[in-house]
Structure 1
Amino acid sequence: MTDNVFAKIVAGEIPARKIYENEHVIAIMDLSQVTKGHTLVITKKQVRNIFDYDEELASNVFAAIPKIAKAIKNHNPEVKGLNILMNNEAVASQTVFHSHIHLLPRYGENDGFGLKWEDHSSDYTSEELDDIKANLIKALEGVK
């Protein structure tokens, strides 16, 4: 089923700047090039996002990431670091609902990409954090 742009790329129905492929993923240059070398690692299996992964798919997909990341860093001596980003659902900025992971090479503080991290630790009491921890542990028991 090829109902989205990434499924069509995987199926070879539309062109892309492919840099890597194995039996589980295809890696392509992102059209937006948020930073130079911005690459997408797309699952060949059509799943919406991380919530649809099982352990085998996760193992197969994430096994390819270091190789592609090292190639991105090694191809350009100006690359100082790399963000690995996966948006899952619209509230988290996912716009194509076919699993994909962004590899964003970083060149310095003003390279066109940034993340905002706020410290909310003072918003929670120790008891509230313990409750969150207990609820997460309980939820993990039901996850396969």
Structure 2
Amino acid sequence: MTACIFCAIVAGEAEASRVAENELCVAFLDIGPFTTGHTLIVPKRHAVTFTDLTPQEAGALAELGQRVARALQTSGLPCDGLNLWMANGEVAGQDVFHAHLHVIPRLSGDGLKMAVRPAHPSRAALDKVAATLRSALQP
């Protein structure tokens, strides 16, 4: 396995500006923040993507992300809103292959833009995709 910077941070072997942690996850500031307070939440166990997490780890990631989001809203740091973002896989923009949730404070007029959304599909097309997903969710 190649060296994982997030595993090194979790182990205390690499520098990080830690914010918080719980039993299964650690929160620290992003070294290339979009805005002040941009925080990453990572599981302590190495897992490449969200779907590699156990249900307990996914819950702990969400819980710590929510705590950090609340702290950003009440800290006095500039925060008019928040984005929660997670990339899974290279094609989705993941560049560190250890699952991580971005908690990004947003400011009015900060210039950050999300990708342009495609045209809305028909209800029939949406229903077909929903049926496919329901089928895949069956035990």
TM-score calculated relative to the size of structure 2: 0.90
Matching residue of 1:45:
45
Q: 1:83 to 1:125 in 2, by over 3 A?
A: closer
2:64 is equivalent to residue 67 of structure 1: no
Matching residue of 1:116:
115
1:77 offset after TM fit, Å?
A: 5.5
2:138 is equivalent to residue 141 of structure 1: yes
For the 8 Å contact 1:86–1:101, the answer to whether it is kept is yes
1:130 offset after TM fit, Å?
A: 2.2
- State the alpha-carbon separation in 2 of the partners of residues 32 and 77 from structure 1: 17
- State the alpha-carbon separation in 2 of the partners of residues 85 and 98 from structure 1: 14
For the 8 Å contact 1:18–1:26, the answer to whether it is kept is yes
For the 8 Å contact 2:49–2:98, the answer to whether it is kept is yes
RMSD of Structure 2 on Structure 1 (CA): 1.7
- What do residues 82-130 of structure 1 show as CA deviations (whole Å, max 9, x unaligned)? 1000111011100000011001001113x24221241421xx4443222
For the 8 Å contact 1:35–1:113, the answer to whether it is kept is no
For the 8 Å contact 1:35–1:112, the answer to whether it is kept is no
| Structure 1: 5+ residue stretches without partners | none
For the 8 Å contact 1:47–1:53, the answer to whether it is kept is yes
Matching residue of 1:78:
78
- State the alpha-carbon separation in 1 of the partners of residues 18 and 32 from structure 2: 15
1:52 offset after TM fit, Å?
A: 0.6
For the 8 Å contact 1:2–1:8, the answer to whether it is kept is no
- Residue 37 of structure 2 aligns with an amino acid whose one-letter code is G
Q: 1:75 to 1:81 in 2, by over 3 A?
A: same
Which of 118, 127, 132 matches 1:130?
127
- SS in structure 2 at match of 1:40: strand
Matched residue count: 139
Alignment of 1:25-36 (within 5 A): 25-36=25-36
* Deviation beyond 4 Å, 4+ runs, structure 1: none
- State the alpha-carbon separation in 2 of the partners of residues 126 and 112 from structure 1: 33
For the 8 Å contact 2:21–2:64, the answer to whether it is kept is no
